[in-house]
Amino acid sequence: MKRYDFDLIVIGAGSGGVRASRFAGLNHGKRVAIVENRRTGGTCVMRGCVPKKLLVYGSNFSHDIDDSKGYGWSIERATHSWSDLIDAKNRELARLERIYHKLLADAGVREFNGTGKLADQHTVEVNGQTITSEHILIATGGTPSIPDIPGMKESITSDDALDLNELPERIVIVGGGYIAVEFSGIFNNLGVSVHKIVRADQILRGFDHTIRATLEQEMKNQGIQIHSKKTVRKVKKLENGYSIKIGSNDILQADKIMCATGRIPNTSDIGLKENGVELDEKGAITVNKYSMTKVENIFAIGDATNRVTLTPVALEEAMSVVDTLYGPKRRAVSYENIPSAVFSSPPIGTVGLTEEHALRKHDIDIFLSRFQPMKYSLSRRNENSLVKLIVDKATDRVLGAHMMGLDAPEIIQGIAIAIKSGATKAQFDSTLGIHPTSAEEFVTMRNPSS
């Protein structure tokens, strides 16, 4: 008789939870259960990266249709149906969810629907049923947070924005981070009048300053109205839409207000603190470098730990927990040189140190190129690209690569391999370009910018 019902219970069937349970089941023959109270696939697949990127693709056609005219196409009158896009997106999500169920079943993982709560160190309650396990992995993700501002509860979050019944004519988006920037592009490309309220002096805190400033300018060029150094004071519901008071006296009116002011870990009311799992002041689960909580058989990964809240990081944390528990030796995740992208319009890709971060420890050279992508030469689209390399003068190592413009996320994924491998500027220079591309700019910049 086994001591517990399972070897591993995972609470949360998002990217991290599904990855850990599949590999524990398939590669290590463990008896695994996974508990989920919403849709299998979690935030990234059902309410985040995937549906968002589909809407980004959908909205970008508005520019592509304009561009096509410069290439000889004539399109009489292009129209767009928001509800058709949402229906198509929902069909795709349903298809992906079926795939996730199958992947779990093929790995022998048993799914439980409901909210999983820790009853003790080895027991999880779900829908009145108790299941026990040697190890437990908390992968409950996060949820949008709405600041405590009068009337702000009227606002929609990214969860709602992905499923609006109809496109508003005017929207106010609060926040200057990933989500606010990405949805500003989606709505603006689809013809919605977008006002964006940013409490900082610029969008995208933490990104390289040149990229921040250049994207902000491009967004303004595309018609997005950015109100910097402003916060929302009050939201009032009107008969038709909302009145939003910003700063001391300005009033905006909109059909929708969207709040994208960050996310908080899903860690309350699931028996964590009561059973010795420590949370920090933001509610994130405290873990060591092997993702182990203060309770040695309980691990936590992904947004619930609020380390680097990106899907590929959660996947890597999942793999490290599986290796640590069942592999030949325990393994920690490296958080250095994590590439990331913002699917703004135009998009951003970035890896390594920003100029500001690099300057704290290094004497650096900056290589910068601004150019118009060839695709826009005939279409005359008023949109430029920017690439930037940060190079350590002492070692010639490339410390950071940043790009804004067409295909930036796709290009930076490749550059990230070079940077992770410790490539020098001389090695970038000795790499031949692929002509004509935007990516070749990364290997053709010779003179540091002053």
**Would you please indicate which residues are annotated as catalytic (active-site) residues?**
435
The residue among 132 and 345 lying less far from ligand NDP, judged by its C-beta, is 345
The CA distance from 338 to 308, in Å, is 9
The pairing of strands 241-246 and 250-254 is: antiparallel
Q: How far is the CB of 305 from ligand NDP (least distance, A)?
A: 13
Residue whose CB is nearest to ligand NDP in the complex, by number: 177
Amino acid at 288: N
- Is the CB of residue 390 less than 8 Å from the CB of residue 353? yes
SS3 305: helix
Amino acid at 28: H
Packing angle, helices 49-69 and 82-106, rounded to 10: 140
The residue among 11 and 204 lying less far from ligand NDP, judged by its C-beta, is 204
- Is the CB of residue 445 less than 8 Å from the CB of residue 389? yes
Q: Which residues contact 296 (CB under 8 A, 6 or more apart)?
A: none
- Is the CB of residue 257 less than 8 Å from the CB of residue 194? no
> What is the residue whose two structure tokens read 């996060």?
142
The CA distance from 296 to 324, in Å, is 12
The residue among 6 and 178 lying less far from ligand NDP, judged by its C-beta, is 178
Q: What would the two tokens of residue 274 be?
A: 């009561």
3-state secondary structure 351-418: EECCHHHHHHHCCEEEEEEEECCCHHHHHCCCCCEEEEEEEECCCCEEEEEEEECCCHHHHHHHHHHH
CA angle 247, 189, 250 (to 5 degrees): 15
Q: How far is the CB of 370 from ligand NDP (least distance, A)?
A: 23
Q: What would the two tokens of residue 349 be?
A: 């890709």
Residues paired with 246 in a beta bridge: 232, 250
The residue among 179 and 321 lying less far from ligand NDP, judged by its C-beta, is 179
- Is the CB of residue 250 less than 8 Å from the CB of residue 147? no
Residue among 335, 356, 333, 334 nearest 402 (CA)? 356
Q: How far is the CB of 141 from ligand NDP (least distance, A)?
A: 10
Q: How far is the CB of 205 from ligand NDP (least distance, A)?
A: 3
Residue among 373, 123, 398, 378 nearest 271 (CA)? 123
Q: How far is the CB of 146 from ligand NDP (least distance, A)?
A: 9
**φ and ψ at residue 179, rounded to 5 degrees:** -70, -45
- Going from the C-alpha of 285 to that of each of 266, 289, 313, the distances in angstroms are 10, 13, 16
Q: How far is the CB of 245 from ligand NDP (least distance, A)?
A: 13
Q: How far is the CB of 179 from ligand NDP (least distance, A)?
A: 3
Contact residues for ligand NDP, defined by CB under 6 A: 147, 174-180, 182, 199-200, 205, 231, 260-263, 309-310, 340-343
The CA distance from 13 to 304, in Å, is 13
The residue among 98 and 282 lying less far from ligand NDP, judged by its C-beta, is 282
Q: How far is the CB of 341 from ligand NDP (least distance, A)?
A: 5
